[in-house]
Amino acid sequence: MADTATTESGVLQSKRNATRYQILVEIAERQPAVSQQEIADAIGITSQAVSNYLQELVKQSHVAKLGRGRYEVTKEGVDWLISQTDELRSFVEHVSSDVIGQVEVESALATGSLTEGDRVSLSMREGYLHATPGGAGSATAVAVTDATEGQEVGVTDFDGVVDYELGSVTAVSVPMVRNGGSDHVDADIVAEYATDHDLVAVSGTEAVAVARRAGLTPDIEFATPDAVREAATKGLDVLLLSVAGNLSAHTDKLRDGSITYEVVDAQTD
């Protein structure tokens, strides 16, 4: 039987009490017919260990034995569970608000000189979060590092929402080489599309060939569906040149992210 000090300590300080807590919860869910093996499997200990704990819990009046394989959590057991659950809840709230909330730090580009503790306004430009001295914007935060203009700065204690629109994706399907490849794409049309987009992304060798014929330098090479979606999520319009075999993976990812896209025809007759 556990000594008084162990019994009174909380589940966060005592592994034994943590196991008692788990066993009581399992009994409460299964009572009155209780399988020791099911409890053992559920919490990762042996059936014999469960039996030993049950004997202890009965002796402490936290569990009543009603017969062979039949147990019930008593009022004392319920009260103990509630007290331990309240302790756990308080600890989780402390971690969420006081610990995690304090260490949640994002990076932004400083638009001017900043000192730790300065209030800043946040904006999204060119796909990157920017921090401007002063708290006049729709979204603000507090700098946690010093920074000069153009340098990254850590920010936390966010308030408000950064106001910007999602970007969109225009996709050009490029045939695989066995189906004609880059020769079947009009490079002039591709170059014209590029003028209305922030980034050019290429996926596949044939797509690279089209970009070069169009006089374009890709901003995203070996473009993955995640990379293209991330760019659009940050407010950038992307021209995606993708070999036909890769295109569906991109469009699936864009749909999952609620990103607007269109597939345009730039193939030659």
Q: Kindly state whether residues 97 and 118 are assigned to the same domain.
A: no
Q: Kindly state whether residues 142 and 183 are assigned to the same domain.
A: no
In the numeric block, which tokens belong to residue 69? 């394989």
Partners of 267 in the beta sheet? 185
pLDDT at 242 over 60: yes
The predicted structure's pLDDT at residue 100: 52
Q: Kindly state whether residues 113 and 97 are assigned to the same domain.
A: no
pLDDT at 5 over 60: no
Cβ neighbours of 124 (radius 10 Å): 17
The predicted structure's pLDDT at residue 243: 96
Query: Does some domain include residue 269?
Result: no
Question: Averaged over 128-132, what is the pLDDT?
Answer: 96
Q: Kindly state whether residues 227 and 260 are assigned to the same domain.
A: yes
Query: Does some domain include residue 185?
Result: yes
pLDDT > 90 fraction of the chain, expressed in percent and rounded: 67
Q: Kindly state whether residues 48 and 130 are assigned to the same domain.
A: no
Query: Does some domain include residue 91?
Result: yes
How many separate domains does the chain show?
A: 3
Query: Does some domain include residue 216?
Result: yes
Q: Kindly state whether residues 95 and 112 are assigned to the same domain.
A: no
DSSP H helices in the chain = 4-8, 15-30, 36-43, 47-59, 75-94, 101-103, 187-194, 205-213, 225-233, 244-256
Q: Kindly state whether residues 58 and 134 are assigned to the same domain.
A: no
Tell me the pLDDT of the chain averaged across its residues. 89
pLDDT at 261 over 70: yes
Q: How far apart are CA 139 and CA 162, in angstroms?
A: 5
Q: Kindly state whether residues 23 and 47 are assigned to the same domain.
A: yes
pLDDT at 123 over 60: yes
Query: Does some domain include residue 22?
Result: yes
DSSP3 helix / strand / coil % (the chain, rounded to 5): 45, 25, 30
The predicted structure's pLDDT at residue 6: 37
Q: Kindly state whether residues 54 and 87 are assigned to the same domain.
A: yes
Query: Does some domain include residue 127?
Result: yes
The answer to whether 164 touches 235, Cβ cutoff 8 Å, is: yes
H helix and E strand count, the chain: 10, 11
pLDDT in tens, 178-229: 999 999 999 999 999 999 999 999 999 999 999 999 999 999 999 999 999 9
φ/ψ of 159, rounded to 5, equals -145, 130
Q: Kindly state whether residues 178 and 220 are assigned to the same domain.
A: yes
Q: Kindly state whether residues 94 and 111 are assigned to the same domain.
A: no
Of the candidates 258, 259, 128, the residue with the CA atom closest to the CA atom of residue 240: 259
* Lowest-confidence segment of 84-88, 146-150, 208-212, 238-242 by average pLDDT: 84-88
pLDDT at 12 over 80: no
The predicted structure's pLDDT at residue 4: 37
Cβ neighbours of 251 (radius 10 Å): 18
Q: Kindly state whether residues 173 and 89 are assigned to the same domain.
A: no
Q: pLDDT category, 69, cuts 50, 70, 90? A: confident
Query: What is this structure's pTM?
Result: 0.59
202: domain CATH number? 3.40.1010.20
Q: Which domain holds residue 75?
A: 4-101
